[in-house]
Amino acid sequence: MVSSMPLRDAGVAVCAAVALAAAFPKVGAAWLVPFGTAALFWLWQRASWKRAALLGWLAGFIFFAIDFAWVGHTVGHYIGLFGPFLAFGPAAIEAPFFALAGALAAIAYARMQADVAPLGAAAAFTICEWLRSIGVLAAPFDQLGYTQADSPLRVVAAYAGTYGVTFVLCVLGAYVADGLVRRTWRPLAVVAAAVCMATAAAWIAWPARRLPPPTIGVAAIQGNIAQSFKWNSLGLAVRRYTAMTRAAGTARPRLIVWPETVITTVLDGNPPLLTRFSNLARNVHATIVAGSLSGGFRSLYNALYIFSPSGGYVAYQKRQLVPFAEWFPGRAFLSWLPYVSALNGGLTPGTIDGVYPTQALQIAPLVCWESAFSDLAYAQVRRGAQLLVVSTDDAWFGTTSGPYMHAQIAQLRAIETGAYVVRAAATGISGVIAPDGRWLARSRLSRRVVVTGMVGPRVATFFSRIGPTTVGVLLVVLYATLLIPPHTLPADTGEWPDAR
């Protein structure tokens, strides 16, 4: 593919990909995003749609290969030396969305009015980001909007979600590129001024900035049991999490959250453990959310057990499974491939957008991968959830960029929904996030620690009313509308042309 492109354009595509990847943890240079997108739009504005698609594919493959490098660590112990090359798999799957973005952007530049074509190109990129983030095979990591979790632009997520943040970043980049290509900077100046004023107005009106002090105590337990022997250490996990929960109970929290699958057995098939944890919740006078498994031979679920201090419990079953890990698409047809059996978790997805009353608040459980899907959190908030509870096993990521990227995603879920987030990760990062995306308490990686904090009720956001699908559809409508040629007036009369 590269041989069919001028070397310069291929080099620009690679540089754009590297810049965008560097905006994410661990580098975290969020300011690079408008420049990385500007490089892409500069290429696409000057190319045919076919050429733009090729350049987009190249940039996308490099970008995702860098940012999905943690995949090699995640399953590396299963396949040894081949681990580092696994990032090429998701990169190859996701890169076509960059190719589609390039093709749609090139069409926008060719068919839309010059001054609004960058707007259409930005919409095209964001539409493709939305499309790759929906469905059972979706991988919504690496949305550009996540990079702004700690920047003033994060406020946009309260109104238009993470896709809205991505769109603003792309608009800025597209108009920078437009200025370079057309040698006119007036459109960029107008757009930049509009973005600054709109962001300032949104910031001033943002309810999350004026919250009353939170009063409900919570705790996240980070037991720090290494992934390499987690599945052979049930006794250790039970003892450690029981002891840490008792220690956390001295602070009188009303909610205590354990990480995903820390109890490595089918818990509803183990009555002694169920009784033990029910008694523990009663003894510490707190609701305990514990990660384990539920079901049986035919249907095995990744589950969170919610133990009430009154003695009862209910199990939430994870809805969005990790493809090629917790389940393998087309396994029956691909079983001949090496490592398919080793990488397939054989789990069944849950079907309920669970919202559960506790003595703290109504909670919305999100298990690991689910926290990356804004539509799941949106559905639970619409059902009355007041607090997001993220339980995750980020030990799979080791000390790569993965845990930092995943924690950053939780910040955007807090901003979008206007809810506090309690996040418990097996080896970190655990903590409490405010509705404005700030960490109120946060752990470090690879530490055994109890993180405590305070939470309060959710505040309303515009995004929690409209949801991510509405944002995606509006972007499609914007793109399609800008493709419609404007009516022109005859220069001599100023009247509309005769319809005859």
What does the block give as tokens for 64?
Answer: 């995702």
Tens digits of per-residue pLDDT, 5-44?
Answer: 689 999 999 999 999 999 999 999 999 999 999 999 999 9
Q: pLDDT for 120-173, tens place per residue?
A: 999 999 999 999 999 988 989 999 999 999 999 999 999 999 999 999 999 999
Q: pLDDT at residue 382 above 90?
A: yes
pLDDT the model gives residue 85: 65
The confidence score (pLDDT) of residue 23 equals: 98
Query: CATH number of the domain at 212-458, out of 3.60.110.10, 3.10.50.40, 3.40.50.1820, 3.40.1180.10?
Result: 3.60.110.10
Q: pLDDT tens digits, residue range 312-362?
A: 999 999 999 988 778 777 555 555 555 545 455 689 999 999 999 998 899
Spatial distance between the Cα atoms of 112 and 124, rounded to a whole number of angstroms: 13
Instruction: Indicate the range of 13-27, 74-88, 218-232, 472-486 predicted with least confidence.
Output: 74-88
pLDDT reading at 255 higher than 50: yes
How many other C-beta atoms lie within 10 A of the C-beta of residue 287?
Answer: 26
pLDDT at 469 over 70: yes
Residue 4 has pLDDT above 80, yes or no: no
**Tens digit of pLDDT for each residue in 160-186?**
999 999 999 999 999 999 999 999 999
pTM of the model: 0.93
196 pLDDT more than 50: yes
- Of all residues in the chain, the percent with pLDDT exceeding 70 is 90
**Residue 491: pLDDT band with limits 50, 70, 90:** low
Angle at 406 between CA 104 and CA 155, to 5 degrees: 65
What number is the average pLDDT over the span 423-434? 98
| pLDDT value at residue 467 | 98
pLDDT category at 455 given cuts 50, 70, 90 is very high
What is the Cα–Cα distance from 18 to 21, expressed in whole angstroms? 5
Give the residue carrying structure tokens 């997001």. Answer: 388
Q: Give the pLDDT score at 331.
A: 57
Q: Which two tokens stand for residue 368?
A: 């690991």
More confident residue, 49 or 333: 49
Would you state the pLDDT for residue 332? 52
Tokens of 6: 């001028």
pLDDT band for 86, please (50, 70, 90 cuts).
Answer: confident
Could you list the beta-strand ranges (E) of 198-243.
Answer: 216-222
